């Protein structure tokens, strides 16, 4: 099955601008053009888009993504290096997720506090202080 750039954009939630950028910079190596020079995507291209979008969303620089794609195209002899790239990105993403979880814990604590203040109709006596700071920073 083939897809237009608009269909791919909707399917994988990546802007058409980003798709064009990725293609123009060699990050979508299998995208072809039709007789009108429009990009034509297939299911393999969508897999490339998904991995590029995933790596970008987790903070990998475009140059490193391009290197990863080049390694993929070189074949099995680059499997070890590709594995190392993914292990490193996995570690970085897990660290990001831990930071987000720490942020979420503090926000949840504040939401619970405000819900109790509103429920009990009492003044808000808890302001940011050393205790809240301690809870937040110890999670890092």
Provide the token pair at 56. Answer: 């970008």
Q: Total domain count for the chain?
A: 2
Whole-number Å distance between alpha carbons of 76 and 59: 26
Mean pLDDT to the nearest integer, 105-119: 91
Whole-number Å distance between alpha carbons of 122 and 60: 47
Whole-number Å distance between alpha carbons of 135 and 140: 10
| Maximum C-alpha span of the chain | 70
Q: Which domain holds residue 61?
A: 1-74
Contact present, 31 and 16 (Cβ < 8 Å): no
Whole-number Å distance between alpha carbons of 129 and 123: 17
Strand stretches in 9-137, DSSP E: 32-33, 39-42
In a domain, 54, yes or no: yes
Residue 101 sits in the same domain as residue 59: no
pLDDT, position 116: 87
Provide the token pair at 31. Answer: 């995208």
Residue 11 sits in the same domain as residue 66: yes
In a domain, 60, yes or no: yes
Whole-model pTM: value is 0.78
Contact present, 89 and 60 (Cβ < 8 Å): yes
* CATH code, domain carrying 12: 1.10.1660.10
pLDDT, position 72: 97
In a domain, 135, yes or no: yes
In a domain, 88, yes or no: no
Residue 66 sits in the same domain as residue 98: no
Which of 39, 74, 109 is the endpoint of a domain? 74
In a domain, 50, yes or no: yes
pLDDT (tens digit, 9 = 90+) per residue, 39-62?
Answer: 999 999 999 999 999 999 999 999
In a domain, 81, yes or no: no
Residue 69 sits in the same domain as residue 2: yes
In a domain, 79, yes or no: no
**Per-residue confidence band for 125, with pLDDT thresholds at 50, 70 and 90:** confident
Contact present, 12 and 57 (Cβ < 8 Å): no
**62 against 126, higher pLDDT:** 62
Residue 40 sits in the same domain as residue 105: no
In a domain, 82, yes or no: no
Mean pLDDT to the nearest integer, 22-36: 96
């Amino acid at each position: 099955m083939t897809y237009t750039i608009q269909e791919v954009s909707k399917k994988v939630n990546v802007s058409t601008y980003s798709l064009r950028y990725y293609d123009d910079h060699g990050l979508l190596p299998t995208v072809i053009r039709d007789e009108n020079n429009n990009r034509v995507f297939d299911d393999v291209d969508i897999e490339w888009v998904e991995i590029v979008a995933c790596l970008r969303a987790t903070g990998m620089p475009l140059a490193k993504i391009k290197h990863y794609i080049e390694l993929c195209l070189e074949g099995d002899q680059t499997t070890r290096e590709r594995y190392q790239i993914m292990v490193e990105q996995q570690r970085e993403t897990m660290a990001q997720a831990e930071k987000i979880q720490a942020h979420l814990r503090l926000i949840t604590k504040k939401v619970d506090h405000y819900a109790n203040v509103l429920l009990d109709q009492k003044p808000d006596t808890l302001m940011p202080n050393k205790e809240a700071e301690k809870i937040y920073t110890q999670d890092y």
